[in-house]
Structure 1
Amino acid sequence: MRCFTHPGRVRRRPTSARFDPAHFRRFYRLVGGGSVYIQWLVASPAIHQLFNPPQLEFSSMSSQRIVSVFGATGLQGGAIVDALLKEGTFVPRAISRNPDSLASKALKDRGVEVVKGDSLDKEGLIRALQGSEAVFAVTIPVFMHPNTEGKGEVVQGKNIVDAAKAVGVKFFIWSSLPSISKLSYGKYKRVIGYEEKEVVRKYLESSGMSHASVMVAGFLENLYTRPFMKATEGGYHIALPILKPTDLESFTWISRDLPAAVLGLLKNYSDPTKQINGKSYPVVTTTLQCAKLAELAGKAVGANVTFTTLPATGIPPMDEMLQAQAEYNGLYAATPVPNPELLALGVKFSTVEEFMEEALKPRFVQ
């Protein structure tokens, strides 16, 4: 009999005999159980197995609730892995194009299973996602070039969706973005990264899988990772193209609030009363004027921080994105902050002040 070793698959101990134990037991009663030969025969391992038929076994992975995470070495996926490890209900599996990279090895050192999977290789993804209960998927926006070579987000996202459906994934979380073309009634059409994510979201919707989408705003972490906040002679300034100090902009503390939202969805998706399936959830920590962002940063680091408007980049997708964000108050004005639907799932949001104190300040104050 063939043995399966995939996580969660049923295995049987192989047997070499087709002998019916019921027939042997009838023979045992007929000839008399006191016979020395019969006693020896029953004591033998082979016959013992006939009296004790093999039981179904489950592999050690069967009880684990595996969540396969794409982008696990990046900011979004990495935050999800961290949260899953800390919370403990689910077991993260990192899907990596290169499991031998330094970032992948760092995950392995923390006890994370790292599996090779390339979003351009659907068959490889099917192997990588075997045994997964859920998937968190994120792809990197291609702001500069449209999907002309078959390698853009639409191809990647559809491959991930197809692979997840093929292996029976129960819940799929897609890191999406709103369609700026739809929001602006066609005024801004060239923000490729946003539009391609929306195409994948619709494809996921048509797949029939239970799913939800999370939509983040500007990364607060970009203040120190890009960095948008730089030293000047009199302190610091936050410099962004197009956006003016009085413009409203939305921001997300990715490392804190995104995983909180994802955990809330994972814990509640199977409850039909929560009505999670098919919904898109903006995950926004704060919406505030750009000048206010600088003010709060200055308060945290104990220095003067100003907001500076830079010229347009000359890159149409990037410039249209920023123009739309300025015109539509950070793109998520229709959803209160924090998102009440996520609060109803038990998600606890942080505040921008907490971000400034816990994440920004240690990086600028020695």
Structure 2
Amino acid sequence: MTSARIVSVFGATGLQGSAVVDALLKEGTFTPRAITRDSDSEASQKLKARGVQVVQGNSLDKASLVRALEGSEAVFAVTVPHFPHVEGKDEVTQGKNMIDAAKEVGVKFFIWTSLPSIKKVSGGKYQNCTQYDHKEIVAEYLKASGLPHAILLLPAFLENYWKYGLMKKTDTGYDMALPQFPATSLQAFAWIERDVPAATLALLKNYTDPSKDINGKEYPVVNDRITYAELAARTAKVLGVQVTYTNTPPTGIPPLDEMWAFLAEYNGYYTTPIPNPDLLALGMKFSTVDEFLEVEVRARYGQ
């Protein structure tokens, strides 16, 4: 009897992790194991009802992660930023614990979803974007660890239409509003629930083949790079109502204000050809913004 190829998934009740669990279940090559702080929560119970193994593991407690990851072939790791930043409980601590535990139990492949260091890219102009900078610190730690890995670099989430209230109802339709982001600046996007699982599966199914040259590589996951004015126009076409875009003043929250200012200044930052040819070569099929609008936005915002 062939033993299960277990992929332990952090954040299995969140946007990225839950989508990865769904994709692993559907595709069938790998067996997802959900790592969660509360294995008795309502979300965990729903995973168990679908046949997913749910194991308690706290990313601030390396010993619990060693127990949780035992027997895993691979790991999908994601951390979520919290404001204000608390030393010792931040994403750096969490990410390093995940890497150390994975290495200790002999995990063969580690996927880290990450972001660039805004402080580094901007030459120190933007100092407060710990939600970006900390992820790159973890990425550098992963590269130095000797653990076979790949890094997925993520752009703006199209799910922010509803996750963070990008779309607001108006008398004539809808308005999109973001602070410090001119309508003419480009933004990089991905349909996270489609593109992250697709990229993850492409990596998992190919990482054992040295000719694919996956180990240590970074893969931007971007399905389009357009302005918010263009996104509003496409949304209006799908919904058949007016959709405007408004560039609003700063929020007063430095990590967020600097993030938007950076992304606007650097036009979404990622310049990899779209779709990413390296992921296409691994068999990944990217979503498109128009597919997202037809499937998700029409259903949620259509009249």
Contact 1:224/1:360 (8 A) holds in 2: no
Q: Which amino acid aligns with 2:113?
A: S
> 1:197, 1:117 → 2: CA distance?
20
Per-residue CA distance 1:110-137 (angstroms, 9 max, x = gap): 1111000010111111000011000000
Return the match for 2:13 from 73, 96, 115.
73
Structure with max Cα Rg: 1
Return the match for 2:24 from 74, 81, 84.
84
Return the match for 2:292 from 343, 346, 355.
355
For structure 1, which segment, 218-227 or 65-74, has the greater mean C-alpha deviation from structure 2 after superposition? Answer: 218-227
Q: TM (normalized to structure 1)?
A: 0.81
> 1:190, 1:350 → 2: CA distance?
32
Matched, 1:107 2:107: no
Deviation at 1:225, TM superposition (A): 2.4
Matched position secondary structure for 1:161: helix
Q: Which runs of 5+ in 1 are unaligned?
A: 1-59
> 1:308, 1:354 → 2: CA distance?
24
Mapping for residues 4-83 of structure 1, pairs under 5 Å: 63-83=3-23
> 1:252, 1:312 → 2: CA distance?
24
Contact 1:235/1:304 (8 A) holds in 2: yes
Deviation at 1:327, TM superposition (A): 0.7
Deviation at 1:304, TM superposition (A): 0.8
Deviation at 1:230, TM superposition (A): 1.1
Matched, 1:345 2:282: yes
Q: Which amino acid aligns with 2:210?
A: P
Deviation at 1:146, TM superposition (A): 3.4
Mapping for residues 90-169 of structure 1, pairs under 5 Å: 90-142=30-82, 144-148=83-87, 150-169=88-107
> 2:44, 2:280 → 1: CA distance?
33
Contact 1:241/1:309 (8 A) holds in 2: yes
Per-residue CA distance 1:11-57 (angstroms, 9 max, x = gap): xxxxxxxxxxxxxxxxxxxxxxxxxxxxxxxxxxxxxxxxxxxxxxx
In the TM superposition, structure 1's runs of 4+ consecutive aligned residues that sit over 6 Å from their partners are none
> 2:236, 2:57 → 1: CA distance?
43
> 2:161, 2:249 → 1: CA distance?
18
> 1:155, 1:294 → 2: CA distance?
39
Matched, 1:194 2:132: yes
> 1:137, 1:87 → 2: CA distance?
19
Give the paired residue count. Answer: 303
Per-residue CA distance 1:85-112 (angstroms, 9 max, x = gap): 1111101000010011111111111111
Percent identical among aligned pairs is 60
1:282 counterpart residue number: 220
Deviation at 1:76, TM superposition (A): 0.5
Q: Which runs of 5+ in 2 are unaligned?
A: none
Contact 1:147/1:153 (8 A) holds in 2: no
Deviation at 1:147, TM superposition (A): 4.1
Q: Which amino acid aligns with 2:283?
A: G
Deviation at 1:167, TM superposition (A): 0.5
1:269 counterpart residue number: 207
Mapping for residues 196-275 of structure 1, pairs under 5 Å: 196-275=134-213
Per-residue CA distance 1:152-201 (angstroms, 9 max, x = gap): 00100000101000100000000110111221122112210111111111
- Greater length-normalized contact order (CA 8 Å, ≥ 6 residues apart): 2
Deviation at 1:300, TM superposition (A): 1.3
